[in-house]
Structure 1
Amino acid sequence: MKEFKHEELVEATESYSRTHLIGKGSHGCIYKATLRNGQIVAIKTPSLGVCNLQDTSTIENEAHILSSLSPNRFLVNLLGTSHDSTTGHRVLVMEHMPGGMLHDSLHLTSTPPSWPRRAKMGVQIARAVRFLHDSKPLIIHRDIKSENILFDSKSNIRLADFGLAVCASSPSHQRLVSLPAGTMGYLDPSYTTPCKLSTKNDVFSFGVVLMEIMSGTKAIDVSRAPASIVEWSMGLIEENRIMEICDKRVEMPRHMEGAIRHLIILASRCVSSDEETRPSMTEIVSKMERFRIPICIWADMVQGLVHLKTRKKPETVAGTSGHGGVPRPKFLLREILAGDIL
């Protein structure tokens, strides 16, 4: 693993100035930094509270977990580490994710994600968790939530924050699993004791995130009755009102109703109170990849393009002039090529 000179990190963050701070949690602070070679990175340091308690186990654990994994396009990968010579604490140098958090994309934006985009998000998150569970030895994340899911420069999903993750066969990390850990709303109710730790705990958390993506509502929302997204959504499913779970802010394309219905049912299986009936991440990815937009939709798109191309004056994108506007056929192609489908 690459060892960065701490002096360079101090210089790149202007002594860890608040102007470089881009994220803050109970275990660490994240700073955006530009290294001397021009590379933009994220630097993770123990939070002040952690430093005061002299407990940097989560930072050390994250370094251990990520260094044991090969780089993966669905994870926020570790680039290297450094040591603060003043405090002796380890510092992590991570890939920088300029696209922000899934949580903010769902709850703090005036333009919520489209339905094809949401379906794509779900598949990418599932692939990230599957990669962890397929690793040898397997990794259990233990804190899958929308705030730990980030977007890279191409708006693809990356799973982050491995401070609570557990390497299933590593006895050196038993101290981390002395008590169940996670975030309220996403934490599996079945995970009540250390011996209950399993990949099914991550499956439950993934199911909550998938419900959050489909509904556009938070995992815990006190303005909703019931406040828990699991209880609320399962109640609607039991009453056969599945599509009422869907985010009302975004119009549902008719051709996607079937796929979205399947995704919601799959999410309900993930959060089942009977953990034995929850699917594995391999099964989840397999099923989600089957919910792709039917080929007939592509045929409809192509037919529409041909129809528009035969017009004497191509329809332009709303808000542009006929002289400088983009012909509608090209605009549709741009949407397609941007990957706004599964």
Structure 2
Amino acid sequence: MKSFLFGCFKSQLPLKTPKKKIRDSTKNSGGSGFQRLSLSEFSSTPGSPLSLSANDISNSLLGSNLHIFTLQELQKITNNFSSSNFLGEGGFGAVHKGFIDDKMKPGLKAQPIAVKRLDLEGLQGHREWLAEVILLGQLRHPNLVKLIGYCCEDEHRVLVYEYMPRGSLENHLFRKYGAALPWGARMKIALGAAKGLAFLHDSEKPVIYRDFKTSNILLDADYTTKLSDFGLAKDGPEGDETHVSTRVMGTHGYAAPEYVMTGHLTAMSDVYSFGVVLLEILTGRRAVDKSRGPREHNLVEWARPQLNNPRKLDYIIDPRLDGQYSSKGAQKIAALAYQCLSHHPKPRPSMSNVVKILESLQNFNDMPIAPFVYIVPVETVKKELEKKEPEQKKENKDENRQTQRQNGQRHRIRTPRAKTGTVYTESNVRTHLKSRLSPDQKENQNKENQIKDESI
């Protein structure tokens, strides 16, 4: 394939511009019948110092509805790329949030946007920027991020996208705090990503993504999946070709083993990467995580042998789901991931078949019912406490009195109080005691008293 050219100055020689008009690919989401212009058609002779200018790109992508922005406009939109508008950063460069009003560009409605600015010292360059403009300038699909426009001014390379309020799947799947991503949302995201890849693979001129991973899967407000970052995308093999030979690029942990070893790129390379992401969705673990034990550094090596064992499946599923997932669905997902992660490309399913399998897993009815928890509003709780407070105090007071009584009876013996001023003589004491004796005891006592009197 012809190489891309660097720089963005006006070509001095006439550029061979395709005369085909871009058709709206949303009318044919499956890709059949859509005549996409290949990436190689936008390059001049290999080794030539010439390249495409902004006008060249615009003329070549007639009908693409892309808007050309000036750097000054983008600075205004993003508040001069303010840190307060910063969204994130990748291999391409920093991404900032901005807002376009309905007066800036004719035909462009007011909306929030994401502005991705190329880092001249970063891992990617003009080649990747141009590939993204060409590809997303032609392709439209519900599961591909929408490119609104671009800037090619001096050395500045900027891309303007629709804004995705939920960010990337990576941020939701691996966050340390907050609620876990629900099972239903995970299944919806997986299906949307599969549809996006199937659309690329099934086009009349196939596209191989080559960098499919969780950080490149963006989420709309309702968890609609949008694939992004197509800088490493390549035209797939056509005709009798079985693969595309290219240098190995991508992200460690996601690349297919045969591609890493030989540099032979096919659609099955994307299927393997999809299997890795599917495994991340199932387990809640990263593809490569050095913070775990040595045997668990590589997710595929650790998890794949356990995917076909239902007893071990519960062990590897994301514990943050707390059992709130479909058992049947999890087994199906595990079996699908096992196929996608085959060491050889031939046993792997096509993305079209993956879509069919995932569609059948969307609404499983064997989800366990979680305990119902009703959260009472704070104001209601305060009112109820205020009502019960006097009654509670009275109850506590009565309980304290009862406790004191019980404790007093247990530890203290009450004795009758003596009447003040009463004097007991010996005769009085004898009379009192005598009254309490039995008849026999009284008779014996009288005899004793008589003996005492006689002796006296």
Deviations 1:81-118 (A, max 9, x none): 22234x2x332111111101111111114211122222
Pairing partner for 1:264 from 319, 334, 339:
334
2:352 corresponds in structure 1 to 282
Alpha carbons 1:178, 1:194 under 8 Å: kept: no
Q: Which moved more, 1:231-240 or 1:159-168?
A: 231-240
Give the superposition deviation at 1:149. 0.9
Structure 2 counterpart of 1:245, from 316, 319, 328: 316
Equivalent position amino acid for 1:11 in 2: K
> What amino acid sits opposite 2:170 in the alignment?
H
- Report if aligned partners of 1:25, 1:47 keep a CA contact under 8 Å in 2: no
Distance 1:293 1:155, change over 3 A: closer
2:111 matched to which residue of 1?
A: 39
Give 1 or 2 for the bigger CA radius of gyration.
Answer: 2
The reply on whether 1:9 has 2:74 as its aligned counterpart is yes
Who is 2:153 aligned against? Answer: 84
Selected match of 1:236 from 306, 327, 332: 306
Give the counterpart of 1:20 among 85, 96, 112: 85
Residue equivalent to 1:197: 265
Q: Residue 214 of structure 1 aligns to which amino acid in structure 2? A: L
C-alpha distance in structure 2 between counterparts of 1:289 and 1:193, whole Å:
33
Q: Paired residue for 2:28?
A: none
- Cα offset, 1:291, TM superposition: 2.1
Judged with a 3 Å threshold, the aligned counterparts in structure 2 of structure 1 residues 82 and 131 are, in CA distance, closer, same or farther, namely: same
Q: Structure 1 residues 74 and 134, CA, compared in 2 at 3 Å: closer, same or farther?
A: same
Aligned CA RMSD, in angstroms, stands at: 2.9
Once the two structures are overlaid, the 10-residue window that deviates more, 135-144 or 245-254, is 245-254
Deviation beyond 4 Å, 4+ runs, structure 1 = 321-324
Distance, in Å, in 2 between the alignment partners of 1:91 and 1:194 is 34
Q: Which amino acid aligns with 2:375?
A: G
Residue deviations 1:58-102, cap 9 Å, x none? Answer: 111111111121x222111111122234x2x33211111110111
Which one of the candidate residues 368, 374, 382 is aligned to 1:318? 374
1:120 to 169, 188, 192: 188
- Alignment CA distance shift 1:253-1:16 (3 Å): closer
The one-letter code sitting in structure 2 at the alignment partner of 1:320 is V
State the shift of 1:132 in Å. 1.2
CA–CA separation in structure 1 for the residues paired with 2:268 and 2:114: 31
Q: 1:262 to 1:129 in 2, by over 3 A?
A: same
Deviation at 1:194, TM superposition (A): 6.8
Q: State the one-letter code of the partner of 1:318.
A: Y
Q: Name the CA distance, whole Å, in 2 between partners of 1:161 and 1:21.
A: 18
In structure 1, the partner of 2:55 is none
Offset at residue 280 of structure 1 (A): 0.3
1:74 is aligned to 2:146: no
Query: Could you tell me which amino acid in structure 1 is paired with residue 360 of structure 2?
Result: R
Equivalent position amino acid for 1:35 in 2 = I
Q: What displacement does 1:15 show?
A: 2.5
Q: Which amino acid aligns with 1:242?
A: L
Answer whether contact 2:246 2:265 (CA < 8 A) is retained: no
Alignment-derived partner of residue 160 in structure 2: 93
Q: Is the 8 A contact 1:259 1:291 kept in 2?
A: yes
Q: How far apart are the structure 2 equivalents of 1:81 and 1:45? A: 10
Q: CA deviation at 1:297?
A: 6.1
Structure with bigger RCO (C-alpha 8 Å, 6+ apart): 1
CA contact (8 A) 1:140 1:167 kept: yes
Q: Contact between 1:130 and 1:281, CA under 8 Å: does it hold in 2? A: yes
* 1:21 and 1:32 in contact (8 A); partners too: yes
Partner residue in 2 for 1:57: 127
Displacement, 1:40? 0.9
Q: Are the counterparts in 2 of residues 142 and 202 from structure 1 also a CA contact under 8 Å?
A: yes
Counterpart Cα distance in 2 of 1:179 and 1:142: 11
| Structure 1 residue 128: Cα displacement | 1.3
